[in-house]
Structure 1
Amino acid sequence: MQFVLLGFSDLPNLQGFLSGMFSIMYIIIIFGNSLIIVITRIDSALQKPMYFFLANFSSVEICYVSVIIPRILVNLWTQERSLSVMNCAAQLCFFLILGTIECLLLAVMAYDRYVAICYPLNYNLVMNPKKCIHLAIGSWLGVIPVQIGQTCQIFSLHFCNSNIINHFFCDIPPILKLACGDTSVHELSVYIVVMLVAAVPFSLILVSYSKIISTILRLPTAQGRAKAFSTCSSHLLVVILFFGSGTITYFRPKSMHSPGTDKLLSLFYTIVTPMFNPVIYCFRNKEVIAALKKLVSLKNIVSWV
C-alpha cells in the first residue's frame, strides 16, 4: 500500500513560488545553524555549557528540518506525491525522535540558565563538563525507544478510509484520520507520550523560569536585572514559538483538526522556528555577535594574506 502526500497541491499556481521559498528557508536554516555550531567550537569565549547545549540544539535543528523539507521539495519539483508505508513510518519516527530531543534540550538549556542565574557561584561546579555531556547524551538517546514504539503502534492500525494524507509530511493527526475503526486507544497513547516527552519538559522549563524571574526581580540594580534577563530571553522566545504551536497541534481533539490549520501550525514548529533560531540567538546575544565579528575579521585577514 502507498500513501499519497497532498502537500500543497491545493495551490497549483504557487508551486514554483513555494519551491523557491522552501529552498531559501532550507538554506537559511542549514547555514545559520551550521554557523552557530562552528563559532561555538572555535571561539574560546563560547566554551561554556550554555553554548555547548546551543550547538547540540542547532545540530538537532539541521536534522529535524532535513526530515521534512527535502520531501516537500521533491513533491513540488516532480509532482510525485506517492510514498510507501515504510518511508512514511520512517519519516514520522525520525520526526518524533528529533522533535522530542528538541523538547529535552530546551529543558536542559532552561536548567542551565536556572543554575547560572540562581546559583552563579556554584555554576561551574554544578554544570561541569561531565554533567553537560551526560545531559546531552540523555537528551539524544533517551527518547529513541519511546518514539520507535509509538511509530510501530500507529502503523499497526488498518488504513481503510483512504490512502491520501492531506499534509506536507507524515504526522500523527492526519495519519490517524485514515485509520478505520475506533482509534481512541491510540489517541490516548499519543496524549500520554506527548505528556511525557513534551509537557513534562515544558513544565520543568516553566518552573525554572519562575525561579529565574523571581531571582532577577530581587537583583538590586536595573542594569543587573537587564543583563540577567538578556542571557535567557532568546531561549525563552524559542520555547514559546516551539511549544506554543506544537501544543495546539497535538492537544486539540481529533474533531477539531482541519487540514489547513494543521498545515499552518506545523509550518511554525517544523520550519519557521528552526529558521528564526539562529537569528534569535545571534542578534540577541552579545557574546555570539562578538564571536561572529571575530570570525569575519579572521576571514578578511586570511583573504588579504
Structure 2
Amino acid sequence: MSDVMDVRSEYIRARWAFIDGPRMVSLLRYLGATDEDFEQLKLVSEQLESDPTLPFRKSRNGRICLDPQTRRGYRLEAQPFVLSREEDFVRHDSETLRTFDEVQDDLQLNTALQAMLVFKFLVVHGVDVAHRPRLDYDRAEWICTLFNLRTVTTTGLLGEPALEGVHSDGVDHTMTTFLSARNMTADSAETFLHDMREVNGRRWHETDPTLLKGRARHGDFLDTLMVVDHEYKHSVSPVYPIDDTEPAIRDMLIFFTRKPTEKGHVSFRYDSVAPHRALPMSFGLPADLPALATAN
C-alpha cells in the first residue's frame, strides 16, 4: 500500500503522475491482479466494435460506480455519452449523444481491470481539486466511465487519439493506460499537458510552448498517466506507422472519473446510478478509507 500512497502523494503535489508499466504491474498484483489476467488484458481489444463517430477508431465503454460508503464498486446501467464545449471539449461531435457498444465480461471481470479501478480510487479519493460546474461534490460516489479504445492508422486515414486537439475530458480525474501497439513508431501518440489558459482545439504542435506543463508517452504494457482534468488540458499526437503499407494500431484503456452531475449539466439525464442488470459486476474497495480523506 505504501507504493500506492507514494503515487498519491506525487499526484497531489504535481496534479498529474506517470506510472511506468513494470511499476503498475507490481501495484496491481498487490491489489489482486493475476498473471493470467494480465495476459488476457493484452488481447481484449480484439473484440472492439466500430466507433459511433470516428472512422479510425474502434471502441467499447461501460460505467462503474465507486462507492466509499458501501465500500463497493459496481457496474452501472448503460447510458448515452456526451461531452460539451462548456467542458473544454471542442470537436465536430461536441454536444452529440453517442452510444457505444458495451464493455463485456472479458474486460469487466478481469482482475487487472478491477485492480486498476481500486488503484485509481485510492489515488484520487479525498483529493481536493478545482471543481467543475454542476457536479455534486457533496455526494460520496464516484462515476467512472471506462473506455477500451483502438486507434488505427491506414493508408489515407490518420488515426488520432485526440482529434479534438487541446481539450479536457469533462471530469475530475482522467487516467489513461496503455495495452499494446503494432507497427507504431516510437514518436507516436505523445501526450502533452497544457496550462488551462491554452486554447481549446489547437493541434498539439500549434500550442504555446510557454503553456506546456508536462509530456509523457505510453509505450510499455500498462504505462499509465493520471491527470487532474480541470487543472490541466491535454493533447495527443497521431499514431504513425513504421511500415506505411500496413495498419498501425494503438490499444488503450481510458478511465474518466467524476462526481455525479446536478440538474443543468449536459449529462444529468444520462447519469443513472442503477446497477446493470444484463452485465452485473461488483468488487470490493479497501476498508481503511477514512485515512485517505485526510492524507491530502
Going by fraction, where is helix more abundant, 1 or 2?
A: 1
- TM normalised by structure 2 equals 0.26
| Structure (1 or 2) with the larger CA radius of gyration | 1
- TM normalised by structure 1 equals 0.25
